[in-house]
Structure 1
């Protein structure tokens, strides 16, 4: 069976679902394909932090501004997909005090609400903070439940006419006369979907997909482990106030805490080592901020793959130095029409990424209309039970928030 659509989006994580939603809201006929359940890739295997931008404020001001803007939007439109926990940046003895000062100054320069807490206020916020704590900054971080977010975003897209196809792998891109014109999907018994434009939102798998069109997309995927432990009582996100490194974040999850993360280069986003030593190191490092974490039972551990984009080979010596910004790649510049890739980025900025792609695609198709995804609230935003029913429907259950969704 053959089908036709204006735009085919490949990849059902937060960005792909966001693109489908934005296009549908602008009246574009759109189909989304994901090889597994929605959020099965990077999105559902993240630490789920809703960044305030503070993490980037001292070295990536543009990224910090994007984060705080999207932080405010998601808190408004996403409801129970978000937990507005707040966050702390914690300086321990031995951490560089200049880094703390630079972080604070960067936050204030980028209009991120940042307050230095007294010792008493810091311990009221987190009574279990280490005795090694010297200074603490409060920032408006939060927690994203990615399964709910992606399921609600997909539901919104569908309400506005999008066709959402989880468990529909793309087997081949269809290329004719120097253009991508669709894809074969669903395996031997699948179908051919013809499209006026194809969007590659495959994340860490974007390079593999683009290669089917003869296009090079220089991804540099890295893995990171997250460790969920049974630990109630930590309310804000905790960030170690030092340059990004292993074991510098603790994410509250109701009766649990998620500890992360590492950054290990991999060649294949489907094939990488899962080393027990990484799990143990996460617990040790995060316990520097909250010593009691070292005594907790591990509930689950999972690895995610970051979709980092690094076309400059000179940057490939240190994966943590690669930009966490996003990149829109118009492949007509590579001699292939009708094909766009979106790579890099963060879960926090997925909506902005989707808006950028949708603006571009609508320009290519001659479609007018403005983005409304920053104003229209997601379906079920105020109803956790409805959100979790959508998670089940779309197969969006993921290890990042399985303890919350009950999937």
Structure 2
């Protein structure tokens, strides 16, 4: 039996289910098709940092402003899907002190709370902090638990009438007379969806999805490794106060710390080498901020692949293992309307960050609603996600949508 809907969203990561939630809340009939369980792509294979925007200041003030705004919204609506840990930017002896000063000034200019701590105060908050840390800047970073966040968004979407299909890979996107009309789904669903509008929110796989519709979305996927070590009670996120480079973030969980990450271009987001040197480098680099990480037991490792938009990366002249501008200081998102390529009612959303998924979803939903002549405002920033005040309830959504992923598997209450 053919599935009928107004909008088909391809991809069940944070952005895809965020779009579904926003559309459904505006009264639009929507179906999400995800090839695996929800959050099985980049969303659930990240380091889970809730950005304050400080990482991107002063090089990308707009990106930093977006991060701090969405950071504050998520703290209001997401409950146990996020954790308010605070964050440190740590200046070590080999780090440029001018970089610290520029970041501090930019945070103050943008409106990101930033406080310089003396080493004694910083050591008291993080007893294992490197003894040679010269200065520390405290900012409102935090932690995202993506399995919970994606599942709670899916539950909200479903509560508002959306249909969430997991283990339903898209095998074909239908285009008739220059207009997208739906898709063929395989896997557990094995059916056809007819839709008035199709959104490609397939993340790293957006290029492959676009190919099915006969249009091009040039992606430049890069892999990054995360290493989770036994480290209870860390406290704040630790960021190395230098231009972005390998091994410059430590994200606290309740009993573990996640060390990350590398940035290495890959040809295929499904097939790439998981190399031991990457793990070693994460431990060595992060241990410069947190020395005990070097002797902590490694509990699990995983790799994620970033959904980077190739034209933007080319403009930045990014490269493997680069630092600063060569690595890409900040990455915005891109909403691509494929009408100019001859396919109407088909759009792709690529790039961005987990922290800004809701904003990306809002922009995409605005675009789709304009095409469908729907005049309803976005309410996703005001309405709390369901179940998020009860860890066990929100974790039941994770089970329902098969959204358990490696980033936060250690904090989930369900077995």
Alignment TM-score > 0.5, same fold: yes
- Does the 8 Å CA contact 1:2/1:193 hold for their aligned counterparts? yes
Deviation at 1:106, TM superposition (A): 1.0
Matched, 1:329 2:336: yes
Give the 5 Å matches for 1:340-355.
Answer: 340-355=347-362
Contact 2:167 2:189 in 1 (8 A): no
Instruction: Give yes or no for the alignment of 1:66 onto 2:66.
Output: yes
Instruction: Please name the residue that 1:34 is paired with.
Output: 34
- 1:1-400 matches, cutoff 5 A: 1-187=1-187, 190-311=190-311, 313=314, 315-318=316-319, 320-321=327-328, 323-400=330-407
Q: Following TM superposition, by how much is the alpha carbon of 1:322 offset from its aligned partner in structure 2, in angstroms? A: 7.1
Are residues 314 and 157 of structure 1, via their aligned partners in 2, closer, same or farther at CA, if it must alter by over 3 Å?
Answer: closer
How big is the shift at 1:58? 1.2
Please give the alpha-carbon distance, in whole angstroms, between the structure 2 residues aligned to 1:297 and 1:120: 28
Q: 1:226 is paired with a residue of what secondary structure?
A: strand
d(CA) in 1 for partners of 2:187, 2:95: 53
- 8 Å contact from structure 2 (residues 172, 213) kept in 1: no
Q: How far apart, in 1, do the equivalents of 2:189 and 2:377 lie?
A: 38
Q: Post-superposition shift, 1:315?
A: 4.0
CA distance in 2, matches of 1:253, 1:278: 21
Deviations 1:16-64 (A, max 9, x none): 0000000000000000000000000000000000000000011000000
CA distance in 2, matches of 1:9, 1:277: 38
Tell me by how many angstroms 1:186 deviates.
1.9
Where 1:106 maps in the other structure, the secondary structure is helix
- Give the RMSD, CA atoms, in angstroms: 1.2
Q: Does the residue aligned with 2:410 lie in a helix, a strand or coil? A: helix
* Counterpart-to-counterpart distance in 2, 1:347 and 1:306: 11
Q: Quote the offset at 1:310 in angstroms.
A: 2.1
**Deviation sequence 1:331-366 (CA, Å, 0-9, x none):** 112221010100000000000000000000000000
1:316 Cα deviation from its structure 2 partner: 4.5
Q: 3-state DSSP class of the match of 1:402?
A: coil
Q: 2: distance between equivalents of 1:244 and 1:113?
A: 21
Shift of 1:189: 6.9
Is this contact kept in 1: 2:244–2:329, CA < 8 A?
no
Runs of 5+ consecutive residues of structure 1 not aligned to the other structure: none
Partner SS, residue 167 of structure 2: coil
Give the Cα separation in 1 of the matches to 2:188 and 2:352: 34
Name the CA shift for 1:189/1:95 in 2 (closer, same or farther; >3 Å). Answer: closer
Give the Cα separation in 2 of the matches to 1:316 and 1:124: 41
Change (3 A) 1:51 1:317: closer
Name the SS of the counterpart of 2:310 in structure 1: coil
Q: 2: CA distance between counterparts of 1:179 and 1:25?
A: 25
Q: Is the 8 A contact 2:66 2:356 kept in 1?
A: yes
4+ residue runs of structure 1 moved beyond 3 angstroms? 312-317
Residues 310 and 322 in structure 1, CA contact (< 8 A), matched pair in contact too? no
Residue by residue over 1:172-203, the C-alpha shift from the partner in whole angstroms, topping out at 9 and shown as x without a partner, is: 00111111110000259711101000000000
Q: Secondary structure at the match of 2:366?
A: helix
Whether contact under 8 Å (2:59, 2:329) holds in the other structure is no
Query: Using the alignment, how far apart are the partners of 1:317 and 1:135 within structure 2?
Result: 29
For normalisation by structure 2, the TM-score amounts to: 0.96
Q: 1:293 to 1:362 in 2, by over 3 A?
A: same
Question: After the TM superposition, which of the residue ranges 331-340 and 152-161 deviates more from structure 2?
Answer: 331-340
Distance 2:238 2:189 in 1: 48
1:80–1:382 contact (8 Å) kept in structure 2:
yes
